[in-house]
Amino acid sequence: ETGVTQTPRHLVMGMTNKKSLKCEQHLGHNAMYWYKQSAKKPLELMFVYNFKEQTENNSVPSRFSPECPNSSHLFLHLHTLQPEDSALYLCASSRDRTDTQYFGPGTRLTVL
Amino acid sequence: AQSVTQPDIHITVSEGASLELRCNYSYGATPYLFWYVQSPGQGLQLLLKYFSGDTLVQGIKGFEAEFKRSQSSFNLRKPSVHWSDAAEYFCAVAYSYNNNDMRFGAGTRLTVKP
């Protein structure tokens, strides 16, 4: 039990759909992260939120839109995705930006 | 360029045998070093980390890692592998005391034979 949950666990969507990924942490942490994990490639940091403020955006295309309404919840809104966006999307949280990250189980996204 | 390399994509060992997973980094100063494990269908879990001090670091589940500055390496070891250790292992390097700067290797998949 990592204390970080992600829903849905699996998602299949067409290129014209709009969907959202949800992450929730029950650890009282203040920093939350979105990562993309593609096959045979290193984990890529996408976004970082610290105390609900976005502090990092690693040149992520605008078809990915994050939202952090409070320190416990993080969303990733998806629209007009491409097949190459198919990947495992991992959420993580940490007490602050220097502390150990705890990861959720991920959402396996397939874009048709 | 700053990078993290895990030379072995896939390793197979017999249960009870010893294990060493390799990790090399490219960076001018001493980085912060981590090993994570990812079991199928789960997120990453921190095994151990090195910030400073003793270069031999003990982690959870019987794992240890040794930082060797001269070789720019941080190899993960376990003296006796259990079938439950089958998973993907990721080395990560942070170039400042900030998770924003963390870089991950591509991973090594470990298979354990009975």
**Percent of chain B scored above 90 by pLDDT?**
75
**Tokens representing residue A16 in the block:** 């014209």
- For residues A71 and B75, what is the distance between their CA atoms, to the nearest angstrom? 35
Position B97 pLDDT exceeds 80:
no
Q: Which of B109, B113, B108 is nearest to B22 (CA)?
A: B108
Can you give the pLDDT at residue A95?
A: 93
Q: Name the pLDDT band for A41 (thresholds 50, 70, 90).
A: confident
Residue-wise pLDDT for B11-29, tens only, equals: 999 999 999 999 999 876 7
Chain B residues whose beta carbon lies within 8 Å of the beta carbon of residue A97: 98-100
For all residues of chain B together, what is the average pLDDT?
92
The predicted structure's pLDDT at residue B2: 67
The residues facing B57 across adjacent strands are: B65
pLDDT in tens, A59-95: 899 999 999 999 999 999 999 999 999 999 999 999 9
Q: Is B58's pLDDT higher than 60?
A: yes
Instruction: Read off the pLDDT of residues B28-42 as tens digits, 9 standing for 90 and up.
Output: 677 899 999 999 888
Record: contact A41-B102, CB cut-off 8 A: no
Residues of chain B neighbouring A42 (CB-CB closer than 8 A): 4, 103-107
Q: Do B46 and A100 touch (CB under 8 A)?
A: yes
Chain A residues near residue B31 by CB distance under 8 angstroms: none
| Residue pairs between chains A and B whose CB atoms are closer than 8 Å | 51
Distance (Å, rounded) from C-alpha A18 to C-alpha A11?
11
Q: Which residues of B70-93 are buried (b: 16+ CB within 10 A; e: fewer)?
A: eebbbbbebeebeeebbbbbbbbb
A100 with A1: CB under 8 angstroms?
Answer: no
Q: Is A90 an interface residue toward B (CB < 8 Å)? A: yes
| Mean pLDDT (whole number) for B71-79 | 96
Report the C-alpha gap between A98 and B47 in whole angstroms: 17
Put simply, the answer to whether A101 touches B99 (Cβ < 8 Å) is yes
Cβ distance B99 to A48 less than 8 Å, yes or no, reads yes
Q: Nearest CA to B57 among B91, B102, B16, B83? A: B91
Q: Could you tell me if A45 lies within 8 Å of chain B, comparing CB atoms?
A: yes
